[in-house]
Structure 1
Amino acid sequence: MLFIDVDGVISLFGFPPHSPPPGRFQLVDGIAHYLSATAGEHLRALSARYESVWCTGWEEKAGEHLPHALDLPTSYPHLTFARNPGRVHAHWKLDEIEAYAGARPLAWIDDAHDEECHAWASAREQAGAPTLLVTTAPADGLTAVHVATLTAWADAVPPGAA
């Protein structure tokens, strides 16, 4: 499974205004987002190896807006997050990712992995659930290097793992 954040992965920010990365602005519910020019290509390449899931505060809006904007052949399911997740000092997405994935192998692309995310991933690994965190820089988003890492990892996960 591949859990995909949007802001900082597909919708880029923090780049110098005088030298933006390749991409374009897209209005989503009246808010301008700068979409990476290569994100769609990268996600299409990864779809051959992964079951993709939107893992973003955009929730259903990702499926409503991004397949067309990124030229994706289909939409992906999305996670819905509790407005008050209740975890003290933990990343707000962890409970929903865990509930959706169970013990299945998963990779998660996000620009905001914290210590709790790494501890959670390590615990999953120790329990026999292959887990990979891929952290992006919000000004660059998902890159070819990330795609190569994700592809190599997916190819190395033993069949039938978890």
Structure 2
Amino acid sequence: MNSLKITLMAILLTFPALATERIGRMGVGFTNQLKNDIPAVSFKLQKSKSFAFGGLLGINTSDTGGWAAGLKGYRNIFDEPYLTFYAHFMGALINKKTNTIQDDTGFQFDLGLGTEFSFQGLQSLGFSVEFGLSMYKIDEFTIETTGSNFVVAAVHFYL
């Protein structure tokens, strides 16, 4: 019975040591979540155990390119070792060139849930998966459900 208690205490006391600590660390990476199909450089800064914020900036100077800039807020809901489950909100200004002389500028608002995970031994890399609702307007107002794998949602390297 005593060995069972000691084993359970050892397991329970080691889990906090395995959790990925990102408070005060900034992640730099990429995202493809913008509705004008422009890949963006993104950053994420974990301000506390329950809150993080980020930003994104994308530009394409080709004839069919455009630009985008936005901010993103994260509210952590649940932490596990190597995984964080969160709610997120994103607001962005987006621009898409429709031809060589005309471009359309609009907005994008996303609201949803997601998870950021890393692997043991690679705690500096965070892979995100997100789903939720997106409202955007470039040429017409659209509301749609979204689901983003880690290649689309974000990959961040934490400094």
Question: TM bucket by the smaller chain?
Answer: under 0.3
Pick the structure with more helix per residue: 1
Using CA pairs under 8 Å that are at least 6 residues apart, name the structure with larger relative contact order, 1 or 2.
1
TM-score by length of 2: 0.24
Larger radius of gyration: 2
